[in-house]
Chains A and B, each alone.
Chain A
Amino acid sequence: QSALTQPASVSGSPGQSITISCTGASSDVGSYNYVSWYQHHPGKAPKLMISDVSNRPSGVSNRFSGSKSGNTASLTISGLQAEDEADYYCTSYTSSSTYVFGTGTKVTVL
């Protein structure tokens, strides 16, 4: 199972919006609404930001939103803040009943 494809890096100024893409295949992202997004500050536990494509867990800022079209899922961060600087990963359930993570995106706040 090949990793889902994410851009290596995305940057934006405070207050701007950025979008991170996560491209898979018909056997994973395209077939299931089981795509989730994680924020990871190195050395800490990853944090669930979006579940089931677009659901925001309690406690997660409403500046984070998720969507999906075909084989590509997306995470949008609105009103970018310095604290959003981190690595972000998508993951999807697959037709093999396994999971696959994305390659990861480093978000930089300029």
Chain B
Amino acid sequence: QMQLVESGGGLVEPGGSLRLSCAASGFTFRGYYMTWIRQGPGKGLEWVSYISRDSGMTTYYADSVKGRFTVSRDNAKNSLYLQVNTLRTEDTAVYFCARMGGWGAFDIWGHGTMVTVSS
């Protein structure tokens, strides 16, 4: 079945970095745009970034993470990544990856990986 599994979260100090991963299975990964979404504790969902299919040459970011986060993909490994740098306490959240089934649909989601930014 089609599945996304995130990993790489953890506890990090302010200013630190992490690399989040999202392993895809059950579909032709290279053929889809992919996106990251997060949910802070007690907060709603917040869109973070997306990357185009195939070469991944096109990327977009929310203003809140622009310049600090970088999305990438390795189609040979069926994997999506989010490099998160210069972390702030407000970046504390569960980070979800999702497949973009079209411009108006995030149709497959993972269960998320928790990032906690605290000293």
Q: Which residue of A lies closest to B64 (CB)?
A: A1
A57 to B60, CA, bound (A): 26
Beta-carbon contacts under 8 Å, B27-63 to A: 35, 37, 44-47, 50, 60-63
How many B residues have CB within 8 A of the partner chain? 24
Mark interface residues in A70-110 (1 if CB within 8 Å of B CB, else 0): 00000000000000000101010100111111111000000
Mark interface residues in A22-60 (1 if CB within 8 Å of B CB, else 0): 000000000011111010100011111001110101000
A3 to B62, CA, bound (A): 12
What are the residues of chain A within 8 A of B109 when measuring CB–CB?
A: 45-48
Given contacts A46-B96, A97-B60, contact A102 B44 (CB under 8 A): yes
Query: How many residues of A sit at the interface, in one of the four size bands?
Result: 20 to 34
Contact A51 B101 (CB under 8 A): yes
Q: Chain A nearest CB: distance from B38 CB in Å? A: 10
Q: Chain B nearest CB: distance from A101 CB in Å? A: 5
Q: Which of A33, A96, A97, A101 contacts B45 (CB 8 A)?
A: A101
A52 to B103, CA, bound (A): 8
Q: Which of A45, A55, A100 contacts B47 (CB 8 A)?
A: A100
**Chain B residues engaging chain A, CB cutoff 8 angstroms:** 35, 37, 44-47, 50, 60-63, 96, 98, 101-107, 109-112
